[in-house]
Chain A
Amino acid sequence: MAVNNHDEEILAKNNIIVTTFEKLWNWGRSRSFWPLSYGCNCCPIEMMASGAARFDIARYGYEVFRAASRQADVLVVAGPITAKMKPAVERVWAQMAEPKWVVAMGNCAVSGGPFVDGYSVLPGADTIFHVDVYIPGCPVRPEAPFQGLLELKKKVEKQ
């Protein structure tokens, strides 16, 4: 017996919540992104600010920055990827456990930014990964990664 949206609403009014495993998993996953600490210089500083007192990323439950790639969910590419850094990022990405996502934070990660003409800089993280969310800015303000992660949350909920 299929339960459509209308039935679900009626049931929810009577305190009966119908769900599927996919929905439950996506609910959990979308509310506990653990970012991997990775970046170069200025965007990570803004990211630290987003974890600190004034902005507080912990409100959404995303404050668990993991140093080990095995335990992280979101690879936040915060900085330009150079030709020398490319194998390291790829390895870190391969080490992460599924389900995993990529967020390109800042102009350098989105498109190469001011360094795009350099001989050693890749034009954006999407040359290597399938990027889920782009956060433009140079550097981005702490509000921007919040919105980026919340957009990623919407995306994961729809999976």
Chain B
Amino acid sequence: MEHFFVNTAHALVAWLTGLGLAPGWADLILLVVQWIAVIIIVILNITVLIWLERKVSGFIQQRLGPNRLGPFGMFQTIADAIKLLTKEDIVPSQTDRMIFKTAPMVFIIISVMLYVVIPMGDGMEIVDLNVGLFYFISIGSLSTIALLMAGWGSNNKWSLLGGMRSVAQMISYEIPLAFSLLGVVMITGSLRMSDIVAAQSNIWFVVLQPIAFITYFISATAELNRGPFDMPEAEQELTSGAYTEYTGMRWALFFLAEYTNLVAVSALMATVFFGGWQGPWLPSWLWIIIKTYLILNVFFLIKWTFPRIRMDHLMSFSWKFLIPVSLANILLTGAGIEVLMRMGW
């Protein structure tokens, strides 16, 4: 079971080259197959996740959550999806049509691109980039463009405010996010994901870098526009923020992309701080799924426990607290590495 997916991929390439295809073309076809697999897994996973979030929110508020459709209400998301697919598609007349229509597509494409560098098991990265972590951070911060496009293209004051808030939030929280990952990079000496996983074979980085983990967790929540930091779609103030004018499937694409981002960030957190796919007894791809789901549940827990904080508090929390703390963490890590090296480790 351990190398099931890797062996399947090798068998596919061997079969294709056996048919008389050049190795380059076989690799290209394998890449396409991997992409389709990622997209299918992402979409199927999200139907489960939305159900899970509704259940978790129910349990936190002493409710039952959906329980009428299927076992434990698991088919609720399918009913929602059918309804959203058949809703009327409204494009308001005063919008910037091009930008309005492309914004959801840009968002979902960017969030699926994040999965390229995440190791989903032993040797199961789609591309093992030597700047993997850097790629993840830079692509992850692009999603704000989609929100700004949605806000600007809708030609609606709430949407524009939501888009602008998303930009302000992203600029502020991108810095502690990158800085907190720097501590891990300093210890590993590499931005490659497989190196970061390999460096955790003895001890997880959440033990060596607890401050970095906490700052990363907070700023990742803000980057995902989730939980107590969901300012871009603050319902009490901005109706639905950047998504106000979107109907049916266009709105559902935004929702899908947000969850895709969430899963990607949780998987990255499992990879960087919790030993990635490493673990005893079970196959590696099962371990990363277990860890990702546990982290996702913490995200759900935080979202449904804390109230939304105010915009100016959000900004000052980032600039006055998180950035100094993450800078201090870098200093501490550097000093620690220096001292340990002098001691002859």
Contact = CB atoms under 8 A, between A and B. Distances in A.
Contacts of A73: 83, 87
Interface string A55-70: 0101111011011101
Interface stretch (B38-46, B74-82, B295-303, B327-335): B74-82
B95 to A, nearest CB: 12
B68 A60 contact: yes
* For the complex of A and B, 4 pairs with smallest distance between CB atoms: A28-B82, A68-B240, A31-B79, A97-B88
Contacts of A25: 82-83, 86
A29 B246 contact: no
Nearest to A37: B235
Contact of A61 (B76, B235, B248): B76
A32 interface: yes
Interface in A62-94: 63-64, 66-68, 70-71, 73
A56 B58 contact: yes
Given A59-B64, A67-B239, A29 B58 contact: no
Interface residues on A, range: 20 to 34
Contact of B73 (A27, A28, A53, A61): A61
Interface string B232-253: 0001100110011111100100
B201 interface: no
B283 interface: no
A96 B245 CA distance: 10
A27 B78 CA distance: 10
Interface in A16-69: 24-25, 27-29, 31-32, 52-53, 56, 58-61, 63-64, 66-68
Contacts, number: 93
A117 interface: no
Interface of A: 24-25, 27-29, 31-32, 52-53, 56, 58-61, 63-64, 66-68, 70-71, 73, 97-99
Given A28-B79, A58-B65, A71 B86 contact: no
B86 A52 contact: no
Contact of A28 (B58, B62, B81, B239): B81
Given A58-B54, A67-B239, A52 B63 contact: yes
Contacts of B87: 73, 97-99
